[in-house]
Amino acid sequence: MASYTKNKKYKFPWLGPVLLVVTVLLFFVSMAVGAVKIPLGDVFRALGDPSSSDYIIVVNLRLPRAAACILVGSALACSGLVLQTMLNNSLASPGIIGINSGAGLAIVVFSVWFGGSLIGQTIGTFLGAFLSAMLIYAIGRFSGASRNKLILAGIAISRLFAALIDAIVLVNPDVMTDRVAFQLGTLSKVSLTSLSFGGPVIAVGLIGVLIMSRYLGMLTLGDDVATSLGMNVKLYRFFALFFVALLSGGAVALSGLLSFLGLIAPHIVRKLIGTKSYPRLMVLTALFGAALTLLCDLIARVVVAPFELPVGVIMAILGVPFFLFLIFDKGGRRLARN
């Protein structure tokens, strides 16, 4: 008898290493490219030498931004994967069901209350994301709504939060100087300081979802099956939402409402490699999200230089056609055939 688990073959076994190399390359290229072009060699020199003339640009501006791309990209992609799996619905993502806009609303509210305090904003975004996630979950739980209805409810709540953000910002224009960029998603505001708050939050979330990835499949089976398989469903669902809130909250604090990534990244990776192992899916989704965000941010910075576009704009222009190609089955199958 051939052992299935021992002979388990993964599609595109090289995808992980390739994505890793691409991510690392893009990380360094994004430190070299910008209003001032710095050759890669000088970037490396500047990273180790505070007296270098490029040190301030590289270490204070571009390094945090490139690191934020990786963190935000992987955070949104992974939280999208967790939500899509948990709700067994491919439409779910933190941007669509209102978790991101909940975090955004919290940023605006906390800014009105506490001014620009970064710690207040970081806690606020997490709380906003977590409360929105719990709200959506509670709606599903107590109304017995189907998973599709849950998404609809999420979309409605997302709009409500967006409207509240607009209302608060219109009344208090000082709390947000660039509302359009915030709502489209931008990494131009990232600094070493903001990264030192948002970064650890996302890092904890990433470790959390990676550990939880082995439990994710169970959450998709439905309460009865998961419980009869010995899982405390309520506890693990709470943990999953908690980590999603850390990821989305941290990402919104750094990049605004970059909503599309959480929807497309898990989709694209899943279409390519299928679902044979959740840990592998989680790692590749994180890498794909990171690489895509780095690439889009790079393009956003150079395409209309010396101005820059919000990264969310580039992500939509690049991601949507590829996404459409994949979701129409033929394209997805052609790519995934091996």
Partner 1 sequence: MLEIKNLNVSVNGKHIVKNADATFESGKITCILGANGCGKTTILRAIDGLIKSEGEVICDGKDVLKMTIKERARIIAFLPQKRPTLHIEGGLLIEHGRFPYMNFMKKADEEDIKAIDRAIELTGTEDLVNKSLSRMSGGEQQRIYIACALAQETDILLLDEPTTHLDLQSQISIMQLMQKLRDAGKTVIVVLHDLAQAFSTADSIILMKDGEIVDSGTPEELINGGKIKEVFGFDIVKDETEDALYSYKLLNLPKEY
Give 37 or 149: the residue with its C-beta nearer to partner 1: 149
Q: Which range touches partner 1 (CB under 8 A), out of 73-81, 138-146, 227-235, 238-246? A: 227-235
Three-state DSSP class for residue 276? coil
Write down the least CB distance from residue 240 to partner 1, Å: 14
Sign of CA dihedral 205, 214, 26, 334: negative
Is 215 among the residues that bind partner 1 (CB under 8 A)? yes
Beta strands in the chain (DSSP E): none
Q: Tell me which DSSP letter residue 175 carries.
A: G
Residue with tokens 């207040």: 120
Write down the least CB distance from residue 85 to partner 1, Å: 9
Give 159 or 214: the residue with its C-beta nearer to partner 1: 214
Distance of CA 260 to the CA centre of its chain: 9
First-residue to last-residue Cα distance in the chain: 25
Tokens representing 307 are 């101005």
Tokens representing 199 are 């970064």
The count of C-alpha atoms lying within 13 angstroms of the C-alpha of 147, restricted to the half-sphere facing its C-beta, is 14
Q: Distances from the Cα of 242 to the Cαs of 5, 30, 77, 205, in angstroms?
A: 32, 32, 16, 8
Is 3 among the residues that bind partner 1 (CB under 8 A)? yes
Residue from 6, 50, 142, 337 touching partner 1 (CB under 8 A): that is: 6
Q: For partner 1, what does the binding mask look like between residues 298 and 337, x meaning CB under 8 A?
A: ----------------------------------------
Residues 179-208 that bind partner 1 (CB under 8 A): none
Residue from 37, 141, 149, 214 touching partner 1 (CB under 8 A): that is: 214
Residue from 218, 240, 309, 314 touching partner 1 (CB under 8 A): that is: 218
Residue from 1, 41, 51, 144 touching partner 1 (CB under 8 A): that is: 1
Tokens representing 282 are 């989680």
Rg from Cα positions in the chain: 20
Residue from 188, 236, 277, 302 touching partner 1 (CB under 8 A): that is: 277
Tokens representing 248 are 């989305």
179, 186 in Cβ contact below 8 A? no
CA distance 148 to 296: 31
Tokens representing 77 are 């992609």
Write down the least CB distance from residue 19 to partner 1, Å: 21
Write down the least CB distance from residue 220 to partner 1, Å: 6
Residue from 41, 142, 224, 330 touching partner 1 (CB under 8 A): that is: 224
Residue from 37, 276, 304, 321 touching partner 1 (CB under 8 A): that is: 276
Residue with tokens 């941007």: 95
Which residues form the interface with partner 1 (CB under 8 A)? 1-6, 8-9, 88, 90, 211, 214-215, 217-218, 220-225, 227-232, 270, 274-278
